[in-house]
Amino acid sequence: MPDHHRGNPPPTDALFVPGTSVEQVLVHSWMRDGHMQSAWPGDDTVIPPDGTPIHVKIINFPIGSVREVHLDTGAATHSHPSYEDVLFYQIGGRRVQMCEDETGRLDPGDVSFEPNGVDHSTYQLIGGLFVEFALPAPVRVGGRGQWLRADEAREIPCAVWTEGDALLCADGPDAFWAPAEARHHVRRVFSFPGHDLIETVLEPAHRTAPRREIHDTLFYVIAGSGTMTIGAEAFAVQAGDSLRAPKGIAYAVEAGEALTLIQAAARPLG
């Protein structure tokens, strides 16, 4: 992708950023003299004929970014490194992602990982949308790109039910022993070195029990609508929205219509 540092908006302290409030910008990128060049809106730059158009929305949180990227069929980016660790979730279309001398195809629901500093590029076989979680990178020597198909995720069954005024939950094998009235959903975990990307799918009117994470966690709503509560604040969410749950603060989700969201933990710097 292009050099997002140039186009990054200032970090927002907001916990919720509606997708409709974020401008989609058109960036062009190309390779010259072994270096990737890019032109952002407002740049006084002549775009060459081989400039690749990239449609992007960037939501910059204090601990990482959520990037919504659309590439047209046949669009190709040149090989370049990232400053962060990047997790990719393919929403629509189909593309091939190259990472140094390795190649993987991404269909909807597939996930990939690019460590910081590793050269990568992409070719869009069928135009479509994908999301990047760009997270602060731990110190690491080496590393390589990795790909996981949708059916390679580790599935964790979850059960949620009420007893009196209390909302209770059970995950993993314990969910099998939940009361008959419990509502069930699945968390699908894509694990990579140092990071997990988790996909949660909720049927209409289903909800999760409150959770707390040990790191700030970023979220993106893939499809559907509902309500996400972070601490004492409740937000009406829909496809395209981004959120941040600070470490140690409880969050929970309730679907209106069927809801799919993804999340990734951002490592604190230092």
Q: What are the two backbone dihedrals, phi and then psi, of residue 203, each rounded to the nearest 5 degrees?
A: -75, 165
Q: Please check whether residue 254 lies inside any domain of the structure.
A: yes
Domain stops at, among 102, 136, 170: 136
Name the domain boundary from 90, 112, 136: 136
Tell me which residue of 49, 210, 218 sits closest to 133, measured CA to CA: 218
Distances 206 to 16, 159, 174, 196, 256 between C-alpha atoms, Å: 21, 10, 19, 23, 8
Residues 132, 11, single domain; the answer is yes
* Side chain identity, residue 173: P
**Residue 51, pLDDT score:** 79
DSSP code of residue 136: P
- Indicate whether 143 belongs to any domain: no
Last residue of a domain, one of 136, 170, 198: 136
pLDDT tens for residues 187-210? 999 999 888 999 999 999 999 999
Question: Across-strand partners of 233?
Answer: 230
The mean pLDDT values, 10 residues at a time, for the chain of 270 residues are 61 96 87 71 77 90 94 86 90 93 93 90 93 82 84 96 89 93 94 92 94 94 98 97 96 96 76
Give yes or no: residues 197 and 83 share one domain: no
Considering the domain architecture, whether residues 9 and 91 belong to the same structural domain is answered as yes
Q: What is the pLDDT of residue 7?
A: 61
Element (H, E) at 220: strand 217-223
What are the backbone dihedrals phi and psi of residue 149, each rounded to the nearest 5 degrees, phi first? -70, 160
Same domain, 59 and 119: yes
Would residue 146 count as lying in a domain?
no
Nearest to 194 by CA among 93, 264, 109, 117: 264
Q: Is 142 inside a domain boundary?
A: no
pLDDT the model gives residue 268? 60
Say whether both 226 and 178 belong to one domain: yes
Amino acid letter at 176?
A: F
CA distances from 158 to 155, 204, 209, 221 (A): 10, 16, 9, 19
Q: CA torsion angle for 107, 140, 264, 268 (degrees, to 10)?
A: -160
> Do 18 and 109 sit in the same domain of this protein?
yes
Is residue 147 a part of any domain in this protein?
no
Note whether 85 and 184 are same-domain residues: no
Contacts of 30 (CB under 8 A, 6+ apart): 36, 37, 38, 47, 48, 50, 51, 52, 78
Q: Is residue 87 in a domain?
A: yes
Question: What integer pLDDT is reported at residue 78 of this predicted model?
Answer: 77
Q: What is the DSSP letter of 172?
A: G
CATH number at 199 reads: 2.60.120.10
pLDDT of residue 270: 42
Residue 270 lies in a domain: no
Q: Does pTM top 0.85 for this prediction?
A: yes
Are residues 213 and 63 in contact, defined by beta-carbon separation less than 8 angstroms? no
Same domain, residue pair 251 and 173 = yes
Residues 254, 156 share a domain:
yes
- What is the rounded distance in angstroms from the CA atom of residue 136 to the CA atom of residue 194? 11
Quick check: is 213 in a domain? Answer: yes
Is residue 9 domain-shared with residue 130, that is, in the same domain? yes
Q: Are residues 131 and 167 in the same domain?
A: no
Q: How many domains does the chain have?
A: 2
Domain boundaries, position 81: 4-136
Give pLDDT tens digits for 53-93: 889 999 999 989 999 999 999 888 878 788 889 999 999 99
Same domain, 161 and 116: no
Nearest to 249 by CA among 218, 214, 197, 212: 212
